[in-house]
Amino acid sequence: MDPDGFQGYDRLMKTLVVLLLMVPSIIVAQQQAVKTTSVAPSTGVVQTPTPPPGTVESSKIRLDAHDAAGALRDAETALSRGGGADAYVARGDAKRALGRPVDEVIADYAAAAKLDPRYIEKYQGLIAQKESGIHPDSQSRAGKGLNGLPIATLGIAAAAGGVLIGVGVALLYTRKKRGVL
């Protein structure tokens, strides 16, 4: 045992702090991995799907990666190739992410709603938001905390951190009581 009995405890506390700080990053990485990976059934190897550029799927992936300009290019290419309602929606979502006027987004959703009735509610919702003066993105963070993580997930991470701190304090108290510190 070290002479003052503190080095082992110090290393343990540093490790606990590092783990505590890593919890939100680990949760985000796991959520992104679930969204973007699939397992090939025959090989068991994890493969990331890569749709060709200029498709609705590539537009969605770029938008998820915060590349709104690239998403817009892909959506417009998909539209020029006859992409249909989904391409109009992808273009509207990209324009929305770029902060374009809400009328442009509404026009894209109107075109999508004409082709596919699944988009009528979203179209009507955008019109209602415009009429009420609420920006379309103002409600998108409702129920979200740090980096878009759900508040419940952050609460779990905080509870885990509290447990780690409690264990550290208990270890310190035990060592102090035994006279090691």
Domain layout of the chain by residue ranges? 50-132
Mean pLDDT of the chain: 77
- In this structure, what token pair is assigned to residue 155? 């609460």
Of 46 and 77, the one with more pLDDT: 77
**Residues contacting 59, CB < 8 A, separation 6+:** 71, 72, 74, 75, 78, 87, 90, 91, 94
- 39 forms beta bridges with 46
**Residue 35's pLDDT band (cuts 50, 70, 90):** low
pLDDT band at 1 (very low <50, low <70, confident <90, very high): very low
**Which of 3.90.1150.10, 1.25.40.10, 3.30.830.10, 1.10.340.30 is the CATH number of 50-132?**
1.25.40.10
35-44, 115-124, 150-159: least confidently modelled range = 35-44
- Mean local confidence (pLDDT), 120-136: 78
**Of 118, 135, 100, which Cα lies nearest the Cα of 109?**
118
Residue matched to tokens 């060709």: 52
- CA distance readout (Å), 77 to 58, 100, 107: 11, 19, 18
pLDDT at site 136 = 47
Cβ atoms < 10 Å from Cβ of 26 = 11
Mean pLDDT of 149-161: 79
pTM assigned to the model: 0.48
Mean pLDDT of 89-116: 90
